[in-house]
Amino acid sequence: MKETLLSNCERDFLLQAIAEKKRLDGRQTYDYRKMKITFGTDYGCCFVDLGKTRVMAQVSCELVAPKESRPNEGIMFFNIELSPMASPTFEQGRQSELSVKLNRQLERCLRNSKCIDTESLCVVSGEKVWKIRVDVHVLNHDGNLMDVASIAAITALCHFRRPDVSIQGDEVTVYSPEERDPIPLSIYHMPISVSFSFFQQGTYLLVDPCEREERVMDGLLMIIRKNNSSLIEKVKDVKPAPQGA
Amino acid sequence: KISIPDILTPAGDTSVLAAAYGPAEVKVSKEIYDRATLDVLIQPKVGLPSVRERAQEQCVRETCEASLLLSLHPRSSLTLILQLIHDDGSILSCFLNAACMALMDAGLPMSFLFCGVTCAIDVDGQIITDPTAAQEKESRAVMTFAIDSKEHKVMMSSTKGSFSVNELQQCVAVSQKASEKIFQFYRDSVKRRYSKIL
């Protein structure tokens, strides 16, 4: 479905309200919406709600051959699905700009920050390693998908348990959850992203924009940090000026 | 008549999230001049939808098309999205129930409601309704029926395994009885949901 255009009245109203330091839902500039994290029945399944934005993450694993350039490391694979459930504008084919952007940002957030110890995922060097796959499904889009997706992904990874493996000479035995308790992944730290949206050429700033605020913003700055200490990444994204502004 | 995704149908541990959008603009390639175009999308938990999801979508779509009054919205599109949350058996009937409730909540005109019931025949010949994944694996045959609310007739059936004609008829009878309980559950949940608003 085509995206419904935002009327000029609504755009002007939002910008005027932001100029007067008011937000649609009554939040302050740095307020986050109410967050709720619940877990599913499987290991590695979690739901994160931020206001009305809802995201589900599921982690799964399988044994594969490692990449030739890195025979000692496991493989991480991330995928964000913008389900058509989230918004009538999302289509089933994944080529949309937003989908590519979110996928790239999630990769930067989780892969570059080296939050998972990939060497511990190695079973037999050069032959068998664990491939950890994180699928993030966006169930409802009410703004700030990136923050929610990063929280859901890292929470699901912390919740996930992989099957226990034992190696005897050349034989590798993978135990089912009934035989031996599954083992958690070794995670160094939890990278969380915080999104700042800018309005009126940078005069005003809002944290955690909702969907309407995202439509009228000029640009978005995402900062990914871990544990209140070092900065990991900074991602800037500026939207082209709206026609006829 | 847009339904925000809110319908979570748990059946034991199996749960599915459904969302219905429509009537909305339809692509010219898909438009039908005298009816609405119904699209059903089933999203699995891990990976992209494959042939299995397509087969399930077909079953759900045929059932929905039979019950929706599509001719009231010509040249429009109705989209039904079903997200699998957890699969512990009886998944197709869970999809059907979630689909019906989403369509009902969206206020789309239907001539009757429908529900899905799954039966399994185990090796002893016993009929189990709403089997779990473990029970489905052990059983000789698994059948899913979509039953309508007006005349309690079978609208759609999807079967797997070997069984006799007699067993099929028995399963249909058992499903029809079970469907009454499901329709009562529909009524109760709708009452609960809207009692706070009314």
pLDDT in tens, A140-162: 988 899 999 999 999 999 999 98
What is the architecture, at CATH level 2, of domain B7-197? 2-Layer Sandwich (3.30)
Q: What pLDDT score does A178 carry?
A: 84
From B39's Cα to the closest Cα of chain A, the distance in A is 11
Measure the CA angle with vertex A94, ends A80 and A45; round to 5°: 25
User: What residues of A are in contact with residue B17 (Cβ under 8 Å)?
Assistant: 85, 139
Q: Does B134 touch chain A (CB under 8 A)?
A: no
Q: B3, B102 in Cβ contact below 8 A?
A: yes
Q: Does B14 touch chain A (CB under 8 A)?
A: no
Helix (H, G, I), strand (E, B) or coil at A212: helix
Q: A53, A141 in Cβ contact below 8 A?
A: yes
Q: Is the pLDDT score of A234 beyond 60? A: yes
From A7's Cα to the closest Cα of chain B, the distance in A is 19
User: What residues of B are in contact with residue A84 (Cβ under 8 Å)?
Assistant: 21, 41, 79, 81
**Where do the DSSP E strands lie in chain A?**
35-39, 45-50, 53-64, 75-82, 122-124, 128-140, 161-162, 165-168, 171-174, 183-184, 191-199, 204-207, 219-226, 231-238
Helix (H, G, I), strand (E, B) or coil at A202: coil
CA distance B25 to B75: 8
Q: A73, A66 in Cβ contact below 8 A?
A: yes
Q: For the whole model, what pTM was predicted?
A: 0.86
* Structure token digits, residue A192: 């969380």
Does the distance separating the beta carbons of B24 and A88 come in below 8 Å?
yes
Mean of the per-residue pLDDT values of chain A? 85
The DSSP code for A110 is I
CA distance B67 to B101: 13
Helix (H, G, I), strand (E, B) or coil at B95: helix
pLDDT-based confidence at A233, cuts 50/70/90?
low
Minimal Cα distance from A42: which residue of B? B86
Give residue-wise pLDDT tens across range A171-217: 888 888 888 888 899 888 888 888 888 888 878 889 998 888 888 88
Half-sphere exposure of B19 (CA within 13 A, CB side): 20
CA distance A141 to A237: 19
Say how many residues make up chain A: 245
Does the distance separating the beta carbons of B41 and A88 come in below 8 Å?
no
* Structure token digits, residue A119: 């060497």
Helix (H, G, I), strand (E, B) or coil at A173: strand
Does the distance separating the beta carbons of A41 and B83 come in below 8 Å?
no
Which residues of chain B fall below pLDDT 70? Answer: 1-12, 198
Which one of B43, B77, B80 makes the best mutation probe of the A interface by having the most chain A beta carbons within 10 Å?
A: B43
Minimal Cα distance from B22: which residue of A? A88
Q: A80, A127 in Cβ contact below 8 A?
A: no
Sequence-ordered alpha helix ranges (H) in A3-78: 8-19
DSSP code per residue over B17-75: EEEEEEEE---GGG--SSSPEEEEEEE-SSS---HHHHHHHHHHHHHHHHHB-GGGSTT
Q: Which residues of A touch B (CB under 8 A)?
A: 1-2, 40-42, 45, 52, 54, 56, 58, 60, 81, 83-86, 88, 92, 133, 135, 137, 139-140
Q: Is the pLDDT score of A245 beyond 50? A: no
Q: What pLDDT score does A231 carry?
A: 66
For each of the domains in chain A, give its residue range(s) and CATH number, in order of start: 33-236 (3.30.230.70)
User: What residues of B are in contact with residue A1 (Cβ under 8 Å)?
Assistant: 21, 24-25, 77, 79
Q: Does B2 touch chain A (CB under 8 A)?
A: yes
Helix (H, G, I), strand (E, B) or coil at A73: coil
Q: What pLDDT score does A28 carry?
A: 87
- The candidate with the shortest Cα–Cα distance to B13, out of B102, B103, B61, B85, is B85
CA distance A113 to A232: 6
* Structure token digits, residue B97: 């129930």
Q: What pLDDT score does A94 carry?
A: 61
Q: What pLDDT score does A221 carry?
A: 86
CA distance A59 to A75: 13
Residue with more model confidence, A46 or A235 = A46
From A19's Cα to the closest Cα of chain B, the distance in A is 31
- The candidate with the shortest Cα–Cα distance to B118, out of B148, B96, B149, B134, is B96
Helix (H, G, I), strand (E, B) or coil at A216: helix
**Where do the DSSP E strands lie in B130-183?**
141-148, 154-161
Q: What pLDDT score does A244 carry?
A: 38
**Token pair 């990874």 is at which residue?**
A157
Give residue limits of the domains in chain B. Answer: 7-197
Give residue-wise pLDDT tens across range A89-136: 888 776 788 888 889 888 888 888 788 888 888 888 888 899 999 999
Does the distance separating the beta carbons of B47 and A1 come in below 8 Å?
no
The ipTM, to two decimals, is 0.81
Q: What pLDDT score does B3 carry?
A: 40
